Amino acid sequence: MKIRKVPETHIEGFKDLSINGETFEYLSPKNVYLPMQFPSPLKELKSVGDKVLMGEAVLQREGRFAIPVLSPVSGTIKGVVKRWHHSNKMMNMLEIENDFKETVVDDFKNLDPDKMDRHELVELMKSSGMVGMGGAGFPTYAKYETDKPVEEVIINFAECEPYITSDYTMVKLNPGLFIYGLKYLMKAAGTSKGVIAIKDKDINKPIIESLNKCLMDGMSIYLLHDVYPAGWEKYIVEKVTGRTYKTLPIEASAIVSNATTCVTFAKLLKYGLPPSEKYVTFVGDSIKTNGNVLCKFGTNVTELLNIFGGLEENTDRSHTNFIAGGVMTGGAMFTEDFVTSPTLGAVIVLRDKLYDKVTPHCLGCGTCALHCPVHLSPYEIKRAMKTGNIEMVKELEVNRCIQCGLCSYVCPSRIDLTTSIQMAKELVRRMG
């Protein structure tokens, strides 16, 4: 399969805002909230009033890629409430009242990964409810549960989105655990080769130097160009291996895992700590303090915002954007009263920007198509969607869109192409 050249676009990262900011821990929220219908309805395993331990299964995702959802705290099931999810949807969530005891289930105690074979490691991924923490939330075990040969495990440490440094913070504070986790991800994949893919830029030099000192046999670091979207899984696989694929990396004999997922697996193996927490970046020109906070899954963002001092005085909320995730791929929220999850990497709060001499109409310049990493025609998709020509939307291959947001970013007319394409992609998906 031929590798097509991907346009390489440099965009400002603004990483220093949070890297040089504060680092907090907030691991004792009064309540946590777990979605019961994302991406599809989940089966309830516990009832109101039931006591639960940290790491105990409380919900079950059924069907393809079935996986349990574990409680991130020990406490009591309070009930089902409506809360905002960072997908900008109001949904039913299981509310768990924290007893602040952090009593962990026995299931993950006294693990000895050296005595476990690859199948046992994959089964552990499944029983612990581990999902990828880079954004998609794909069950980790599903990547490693393969009978196809694996040449290398690649750790996606590109953290490509502007502003976000949650992966950076996790690895910076846990370099030994990061390498430990990679060692056993390699074992779970049945390969002796592990590659850490990270951007080659000045701000990353200290962490690259730190990792180089603790690499184990078979491990190496691959330096990516400082471009966007270098964090795209296919881009990384092609750069690291020289091979490509159509649907999944395993077709190119590779498995890709996120950096925070790697550390989380290490904590599970070494300390018996089931997936329950991650760093989330809080950053923007309307937050008093920028930085990262280690927090439980299902924590209310309003509580976390208070840790950073809240919003700047005289903030005009009608002209302030609360963005869940990255500015390129995330979404503006109606409210900051939503909850975290294993896939939320950042909360970005920015004032509206006004642009002079901008026309709301397409100039026909083709800039969006020129910069599209998968060689689509974004404005043509938007136009077909607007006129209701769904057949044309399909012919324009909207399903290949990776939703990187570059088309909107480079558009000189500031046309919101990304949202239109996301809507078109979802419509085609629903129509089968």
CB 362 within 8 A of CB 379: yes
Percent of the chain exceeding pLDDT 90 equals 81
Token code pair at residue 177:
């655990």
CA nearest neighbour of 283 among 230, 218, 380, 350:
350
Per-residue pLDDT, averaged over 403-432, amounts to 89
Rounded-to-integer distance, Cα 258 and Cα 166, Å: 11
pLDDT reported for residue 332: 87
Name the pLDDT band for 334 (thresholds 50, 70, 90).
Answer: confident
Name the pLDDT band for 356 (thresholds 50, 70, 90).
Answer: low
The DSSP line for 6-74 is PP-B-----THHHHTSEEEEE---SEEEEESSSSS--EE-S-TT-EE-BT-EEEEE-STT-EEEE-SS-
- Region label for 218, one of left (φ > 0), alpha (ψ between -120 and 50) or beta (otherwise): left
**How much is the pTM?**
0.94
Q: Which residues contact 25 (CB under 8 A, 6 or more apart)?
A: 293, 294, 295
**First and final C-alpha spacing in the chain:** 27
Per-residue pLDDT, averaged over 142-160, amounts to 97
Task: Flag the least confident range among 142-156, 200-214, 345-359.
Answer: 345-359
Domains and CATH numbers, the chain: 28-103 (2.40.50), 108-271 (3.40.50.11540), 279-351 (3.10.20), 367-430 (no CATH)
Per-residue pLDDT, averaged over 348-375, amounts to 82
Per-residue pLDDT, averaged over 248-258, amounts to 97
pLDDT reported for residue 197: 98
On the question of pLDDT at 156 being above 70, the answer is yes
Per-residue pLDDT, averaged over 295-319, amounts to 93
Per-residue pLDDT, averaged over 395-409, amounts to 93
pLDDT reported for residue 394: 92
Q: Are strands 43-44 and 346-351 parallel, antiparallel or unpaired?
A: unpaired
pLDDT reported for residue 319: 84
On the question of pLDDT at 38 being above 80, the answer is no
Cβ density class 389-411: b for 16+ within 10 Å, e for less:
eeeebeebebeebbebbbbbbbb
Q: Are strands 219-224 and 194-199 parallel, antiparallel or unpaired?
A: parallel
Per-residue pLDDT, averaged over 192-212, amounts to 97
The radius of gyration of the chain from alpha carbons, rounded to an integer in Å, stands at 21
Per-residue pLDDT, averaged over 345-351, amounts to 94
Rounded-to-integer distance, Cα 374 and Cα 251, Å: 18
Tokens 């409680």: give the residue. Answer: 71
Q: CA 75, 76, 80, 82: dihedral to nearest 10 degrees?
A: -40
pLDDT reported for residue 354: 59
CB 70 within 8 A of CB 275: yes
How does the average pLDDT of the chain come out, rounded? 93
pLDDT reported for residue 176: 96
pLDDT reported for residue 347: 97
